[in-house]
Amino acid sequence: MTPIPLAVTARAAALRLAVSGALYHLPRPLGWKLVTPGQPARQGCCMTAVLMLDELRPATAYRLHVEGMDEIAFRTSDCAAAVIPERMIDAAAHDDLSAARHNAAQIAAAIAALRVGGTLILPPGDWLTAPLALKSDMTLHLAEGAVIRAPSDRSGWPILPARDEAGQMLGSWEGLPENCFAAGVHAINATRLVIEGSGVIDGSGDLGDWWTWPKETREGARRPRGLHLVGCRDVTLLGFTIRNAPSWTIHPQGCDRLLAAGLRIEAPHDSPNTDGFNPEMCRDVTLEGIRFSVGDDCIAVKAGKRGPEGEADHLAETRNVCVRHCLMERGHGGLVIGSEMSGGVHEVTIEDCEMVGTDRGLRIKTRRGRGGEVSGIAMRRITMTGVQTAISVNAHYHCDPDGHADWVQNRAPAEVNERTPRIHGITVEDVTLDGLAHAAGSFLGLPESPIADVRIRRLRIGSLDPDAIAAPPDMADRVRPMRHENLLAEQAELDCDDASLLSPAQITLE
């Protein structure tokens, strides 16, 4: 076995340790040594399947030795130039808007001066700064001990308009074009952008009033994200921690070819709508070795939402999302698809991951009126511990103001048209459940568009939560409370290799 490079930049590298049985954690810790001529060797012990190496030297040859694995040689890339912003004010001494604006101006000047392929280095310190806009062909390197912290006061905070002059969606909210406050760190139409290092991006959602108006518009805008990437290409995110986002934590919107590895994504368990990573209308997204502990869904794969009058000109599909060796702690769902999926979500794979204490494991949610198609979803080699419902596929999700309307929740067949969602092609293999509370799986389809082609193999229920209290596994009307149920299906086609897991019980209350 040889470590597999995921990304190598001028100062950082992420490698997958492809050990048999590795999930987020390795079966056992492995020692490693990094050697380069003329420099002291670096040593450490890795406990996770993705090994992050930071503070490397540009244009330098390295050899990595990992216990029990073949040696691998790699070379860091060149760096056109490295710039450290001048005359920054540490927030520890100046925790106010004037410091935030001063620092933002210094960083913006440094970014503007960067040559193509250059690196902006944020040194150790607590750097309060107004929202930062990144650009193409640059690296933002967050040194160990560096914190970029957004101000809690939104006075003068920039607002992204719903669309630009060409009609491209910029600001958004739950899949629709809407004005939103700019994220603390954001980029629009950037290519070959890298954000790396072992520092921290802090959105200050726990300060001010961001979390007190989760579904409102204030001062003409919706809440900002923690990191918002709009229309970007070839983006690499490595090693940093991002926490306390005012709403969704990392939101790639309309992006292609994005890799995120070795991140930590954090928010308090009771913070509203602080999803961890939400790729929306994106293609070719890879997430590896990320640890999530958030207040909403850990990963929510989305594809926009039709407007109230059927508006669809902003929609595009999401395709080819791969999630490996991640840890999802708490959160409403581990890997979630929807409920904004009107553009279509295809080819999403999650494998070799751990979920601990999430409400649900794999969750797909939509409703009449959304349209769109979900297909090619695969979950393989997953352990779930203390997860209430392992698999939830719900086509009667009661979102939006009309979510409880009869035309949304009625179990009689409705007309099939462009607003009818379709779900098919789900594979679940080698999943182990311990401490199961509500149901191993609940599949609630539409009578006019049943859930089709669901294949379940080697699903094992190791233990049940003895303290579980019966509750509905799906957010839909007339779903009965459940406790310690197996696999239930209504308007859904299930093929399971263990017939004893297929329950004859009903999902919907009579």
The CATH number that applies at residue 31 is 2.60.40.10
Q: Which of 332, 396, 398, 438 is catalytic?
A: 332
At residue 91, the pLDDT reads 73
At residue 105, the pLDDT reads 96
pLDDT averaged over every residue in the chain: 96
Give me the count of residues in the chain. Answer: 510
Task: Tell me how far apart the alpha carbons of residues 468 and 438 are, in angstroms, rounded to a whole number.
Answer: 7
Is 85 within 8 Å of 110 (Cβ atoms)? yes
Residue 317 lies in a domain: no
Is 48 within 8 Å of 296 (Cβ atoms)? no
User: Cis link prior to 339 (omega < 30° from 0)?
Assistant: yes
Residue 94: pLDDT above 70? no
Residue type for position 446: L
Pick the closest to residue 217 from 186, 261, 278, 173 (CA basis): 173
Is 360 within 8 Å of 388 (Cβ atoms)? yes
Q: Which of 296, 352, 474, 477 is catalytic?
A: 296
At residue 92, the pLDDT reads 67
**Structure token pair of residue 368:** 């009449």
Residue 427: pLDDT above 80? yes
Pick the closest to residue 193 from 150, 244, 227 (CA basis): 227
Who's near 51: CB < 8 A, 6+ residues apart?
Answer: 3, 14, 15, 16, 17, 32, 66
pLDDT tens digits for range 116-148: 999 999 999 999 999 999 999 999 999 999 999
3-state secondary structure of 406: helix
Residue type for position 162: A
Residue 450 lies in a domain: no
Residue 64 lies in a domain: yes
Residue 260: pLDDT above 80? yes
Task: Tell me how far apart the alpha carbons of residues 381 and 225 are, in angstroms, rounded to a whole number.
Answer: 31
Residue 93: pLDDT above 70? no
What DSSP string describes 375-396?
EEEEEEEEEEES-SEEEEEES-
At residue 510, the pLDDT reads 72
Domain of 44 in residue numbering reads as: 4-75
Residue 97: pLDDT above 90? no
Residue 43 lies in a domain: yes
Residue 310 lies in a domain: no
137 is catalytic: no
Cβ-based neighbour number of residue 308 at 10 Å: 11
**Residue entry with tokens 């098919």:** 424
- Give the DSSP H or E segment for 408: helix 406-409
pTM, to two decimals: 0.98
How far are the Cα atoms of 4, 11, 23, 70, 93 from residue 56, in angstroms, in the given order? 18, 4, 27, 21, 31
Who's near 175: CB < 8 A, 6+ residues apart?
Answer: 280, 302, 303, 304, 305, 340, 342
> Per residue in 129-151, is it b (16+ CB within 10 Å) or e — as a string?
bbbbbbbebbbbbbbeebbbbbb
Residue 190 lies in a domain: no
CA angle 477, 339, 216 (to 5 degrees): 90
Task: Tell me how far apart the alpha carbons of residues 86 and 103 are, in angstroms, rounded to a whole number.
Answer: 9
Residue 484: pLDDT above 90? yes
Q: In terms of DSSP bridges, do strands 13-16 and 50-53 run parallel, antiparallel, or are they unpaired?
A: antiparallel
297 is catalytic: no
At residue 114, the pLDDT reads 96
At residue 90, the pLDDT reads 84
**Residue entry with tokens 């103001």:** 401
Give the total number of structural domains in the chain.
Answer: 1
Is 52 within 8 Å of 260 (Cβ atoms)? no
Lowest mean pLDDT among 78-82, 316-320, 390-394: 78-82
Residue 141 lies in a domain: no
CA dihedral angle for residue 329, residue 321, residue 275, residue 426, rounded to 10 degrees = -70
Residue 17 lies in a domain: yes
Mean pLDDT on 143-163: 95
**Structure token pair of residue 150:** 């957004």
At residue 479, the pLDDT reads 98
